[in-house]
């Protein structure tokens, strides 16, 4: 699935991708809840320790380089994100982000939905509070030019990241090829090692995504399989520890979301300027940034409410199907109960109004 514009947000009516509102949304930053400012107020707060008075607490979010997360990083570089409230811990891969969560170094992370389900199965209590993007072709299996079709990966060395997303893409690509893991030679790699392994001829194909995908395609790699062939399966989300979703962290979480959506709106209005500003961080030439966003759906505030809000959130429908697929594939021991998986309470509300 491809789009006429990298920034044109399009939703199909399949499970997740609903018809998008045909309007531009003006976004204003949500103000941080005010601290108790007067001496009398401070004295009262100290005198009543059990009454719930507390200062706003900051959050730390882990995220690796990926076009769908880039508006959040752009907000930081533009000064729209106050890192005293919401700090971004930049990692090299989703695996590293998950490790930071496991080690208690961060309060949340930018992950795929399947990675979130895998982390929950491992004992991390995580809730999805925002959708960054939906992959509709941006994740792919790339092979060397001599490998012409998907079935030809039999017996080849396949590099992939041993996280939930890598396992899911591998499982679905092998299914489409009519192969099993026993038919190929697996080469576990972290994302930051893909290019080096390719250039050293240590792999014949890799399961990857942008910006590495564009760099390999420029070297002659062929795309044999992508996420457009498994619609609604790879969704990037902001997953936060459930115990952090409280009143004391609310201001920081909302500030992070507001900065992200402000940046996303700016990107949509002036894509070429945004591409220039994002190029260095993505490791791509400015002319290649827009191509890196092809195959991605970028939900704005209104569509985040459509995906996460209501009594039966649309993302929950996709998560239920994904959990079943992951269980059948052995990625989960049992299906996720999906309890407390979705939380739309922190999404901006005022941005729904033109």
Q: Which residue from 195, 232, 211, 337 is spatially nearest to 281, judged by alpha carbons?
A: 211
What is the per-residue pLDDT for 351? 52
pLDDT, position 191: 79
DSSP 8-state assignment for residue 332: S
For residue 350, the model assigns a pLDDT of 66
Domain residue ranges of the chain, discontinuous segments joined by +: 55-134+233-352, 139-229
Query: Of 210, 170, 178, 186, which Cα lies nearest the Cα of 6?
Result: 210
E-strand ranges in 126-174 read 126-135, 139-143, 157-160
CA–CA separation, 96 vs 63, rounded Å?
9
Rounded average pLDDT per 10-residue block, the chain, 354 residues: 36 35 34 30 36 72 95 96 96 93 97 94 97 90 96 96 82 93 93 90 93 89 93 91 95 97 93 93 89 88 94 91 87 94 92 43
Q: How is domain 139-229 classified at the architecture level of CATH?
A: 3-Layer(aba) Sandwich (3.40)
DSSP states of 289-304 as a string?
HHHHTTTEE---HHHH
| Closest by Cα among 138, 134, 135, 97 to 119 | 97
Q: What is the pLDDT of residue 181?
A: 92
Q: Determine if the pTM surpasses 0.75.
A: no
| CATH C-level class of 55-134+233-352 | alpha beta
């Amino acid at each position: 699935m491809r789009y006429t514009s990298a920034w044109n947000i399009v939703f199909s009516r399949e499970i997740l991708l609903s018809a998008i509102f045909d309007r531009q949304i003006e976004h204003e930053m949500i103000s941080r809840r005010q601290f108790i400012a007067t001496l009398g107020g401070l004295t009262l707060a100290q005198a009543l320790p059990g009454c719930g008075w507390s200062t706003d607490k900051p959050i730390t979010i882990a995220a690796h380089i990926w076009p769908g997360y880039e508006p959040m990083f752009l907000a930081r570089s533009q000064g729209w994100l106050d890192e005293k409230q919401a700090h971004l811990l930049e990692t090299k891969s989703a695996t590293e982000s998950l490790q930071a969560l496991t080690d208690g170094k961060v309060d949340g992370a930018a992950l795929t939905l399947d990675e979130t389900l895998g982390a929950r199965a491992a004992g991390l209590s995580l809730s999805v509070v925002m959708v960054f993007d939906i992959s509709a072709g941006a994740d792919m299996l790339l092979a060397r030019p001599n490998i012409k079709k998907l079935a030809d990966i039999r017996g080849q060395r396949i590099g992939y990241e041993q996280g939930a997303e890598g396992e899911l893409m591998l499982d679905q690509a092998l299914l489409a090829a009519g192969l099993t893991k026993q038919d190929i030679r697996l080469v576990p790699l972290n994302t930051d090692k893909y290019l080096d392994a390719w250039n050293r001829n240590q792999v014949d194909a890799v399961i990857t995504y942008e910006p590495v995908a564009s760099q390999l395609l420029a070297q002659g790699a062929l795309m044999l399989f992508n996420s457009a062939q498994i619609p609604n399966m790879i969704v990037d989300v902001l997953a936060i520890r459930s115990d952090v979703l409280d009143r004391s962290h609310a201001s920081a979480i909302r500030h992070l979301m507001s900065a992200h959506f402000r940046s996303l709106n700016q990107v949509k209005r002036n894509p070429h300027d945004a591409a220039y500003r994002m190029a260095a961080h993505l490791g791509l030439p400015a002319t290649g940034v827009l191509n890196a966003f092809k195959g991605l759906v970028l939900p704005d505030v209104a569509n985040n409410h459509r995906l996460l809000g209501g009594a039966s959130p649309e993302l929950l429908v996709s998560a239920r199907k994904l959990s079943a697929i992951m269980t059948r594939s052995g990625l989960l021991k049992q299906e996720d109960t999906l309890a407390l998986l979705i939380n739309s309470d922190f999404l901006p509300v005022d941005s729904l109004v033109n």
